[in-house]
Amino acid sequence: MVASTPSIEFFEGIPEDLSDVSLRQNRATGVRSVLMTFTVLRSIERFRSYTNRFAKALLLTDDEGQISIEPSSMKFIFGGPEGDDLQRVECRFEIDQAEHWERFMRFMHRYAEVNGMAYGEPQS
């Protein structure tokens, strides 16, 4: 089996760089939520997304295969002097099954290792 570099895509063939990820668990329901933050989206730079196939989901790909996730929300935050500079994109989704969470975490560990990211507790 050929090892593949973990990737995150909104549009097929355009890998994105994850800037930050926040993991939470609802103590009452056990449902886990993920907030992925991207400070740059290659898929919208120079409107390249119009020439590639929209995945209709967030695609996470690694050695185990592909995970397809439909975000529950996508928030585009703009700023700058004119208010039209993309500052970041926040992609939120929930994972309610333990085996899906475990698979997601295996992906995140691989992605973090390849991209020099590390786990850290939030600042109080």
pTM higher than 0.75: yes
**Domain spans of the chain, in order of start:** 7-115
Q: What fold, for 7-115?
A: Elongation Factor Tu (Ef-tu); domain 3 (2.40.30)
Could you read off the pLDDT of 27-85 as tens digits, one per residue?
999 999 999 999 998 887 755 545 555 556 899 999 999 999 999 998 989 888 888 88
Could you read off the pLDDT of 81-124 as tens digits, one per residue?
888 888 999 999 999 999 999 999 999 999 999 999 887 766 66
Burial, 120: exposed, middle or buried (Cβ in 10 Å; 0-12, 13-18, 19+)?
exposed
Residue at token pair 């991209």: 115
Can you give the pLDDT at residue 2?
56
